[in-house]
């Protein structure tokens, strides 16, 4: 499976500020995704990070609030902008389309635990 | 869009018993169905998956069955052990060339009592 790392692993932030989360993969992957997991809940897809073009956002998520970058095939960032306590969640990146692995198989990073005060 | 329903939300079994978790999906175009196990404070880990051209798949104590007509799939864990205690998520995905995103069920908290 792909080795995926995320930074930071956790953070405590003040409302109104922004935090950028990084996701690094040890090999080139076709697709990268960002999910949110609110406390005790399931995973909800925020957006698909497209290499070289704008991210594709799911219903209920907008670029101004969650800008995403994907400068190459091994790296992506998610920014949580103008944070409020409701943004307190775990943010997870996942990857798909690693060479030698079934195309659909998705692996997750360790997550970033965000607490907004 | 795709919607995935998962039942039960909690499941408690005695060690050695079997556990079954069921999911239904709405989009008949979905063709990939993974199951993830998430231990407390950890990332979701893929434990088994099935594609729509297969009706059943087994991996040691874990099996998944798929009924495309009824649009439901199930996870079966036999001879449960305390280390099987975790939250299990099912997911459904449209064809890879349509974006490959996963739509998750609500999760099942499995507790295996020694």
Searching chain A, which residue's CA lies closest to the CA of residue B105? A42
Q: Do A110 and B43 touch (CB under 8 A)?
A: yes
The candidate with the shortest Cα–Cα distance to B109, out of B28, B37, B18, B59, is B37
Give CA B101 to chain center in angstroms.
16
Return the HEC string of B87-110: EEEEEEECCHHHCCCCEECCCEEE
**Under 8 Å between Cβ of A29 and A95:** yes
* Interchain CB contact of B2 with A (< 8 Å): no
Q: How big is the A-B interface in CB pairs under 8 Å?
A: 58
* Separation in Å, CA of B26 to nearest CA in chain A: 17
The candidate with the shortest Cα–Cα distance to A30, out of A116, A82, A106, A96, is A96
For the stretch B35-81, pLDDT in tens is 999 999 999 999 999 998 889 999 999 999 999 999 999 999 999 99
* Interchain CB contact of A61 with B (< 8 Å): no
Cα gap A7→B4, rounded to integer Å = 30
**How do the pLDDT tens digits run along chain A, 117 residues long?**
679 999 999 999 999 999 999 999 999 988 899 999 999 999 999 999 988 888 999 999 999 999 999 999 999 999 999 999 999 999 999 998 776 667 788 999 999 999 999
Q: Give chain B positions within 8 Å (CB) of A41.
A: 106-107
């Amino acid at each position: 499976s792909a080795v995926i790392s995320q930074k930071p692993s956790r953070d405590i932030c003040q409302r109104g500020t922004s935090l950028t989360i990084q996701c690094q993969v040890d090999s080139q992957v076709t697709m990268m995704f960002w999910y949110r997991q609110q406390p005790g809940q399931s995973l909800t897809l925020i957006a698909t990070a497209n290499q070289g073009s704008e991210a594709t956002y799911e219903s209920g998520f907008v670029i101004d609030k969650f800008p995403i970058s994907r400068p190459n095939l091994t790296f992506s960032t998610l920014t949580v902008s103008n944070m409020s306590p409701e943004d307190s969640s775990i943010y997870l990146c996942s990857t798909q389309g690693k060479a030698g692995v079934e195309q659909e198989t998705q692996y997750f990073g360790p997550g970033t635990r965000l607490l907004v005060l | 869009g795709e919607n995935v329903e998962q039942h039960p939300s909690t499941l408690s079994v005695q060690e050695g018993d079997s556990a079954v978790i069921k999911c239904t999906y709405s989009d008949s175009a979905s063709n990939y169905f993974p199951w993830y196990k998430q231990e407390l404070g950890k990332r979701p880990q893929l434990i088994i998956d099935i594609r729509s051209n297969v009706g059943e798949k087994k991996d040691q104590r874990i099996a998944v069955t798929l009924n495309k007509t009824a649009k439901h799939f199930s996870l079966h864990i036999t001879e449960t052990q305390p280390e099987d205690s975790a939250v299990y998520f099912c997911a459904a995905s449209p064809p890879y060339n349509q974006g490959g995103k996963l739509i998750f069920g609500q999760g099942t908290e499995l507790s295996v009592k020694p």
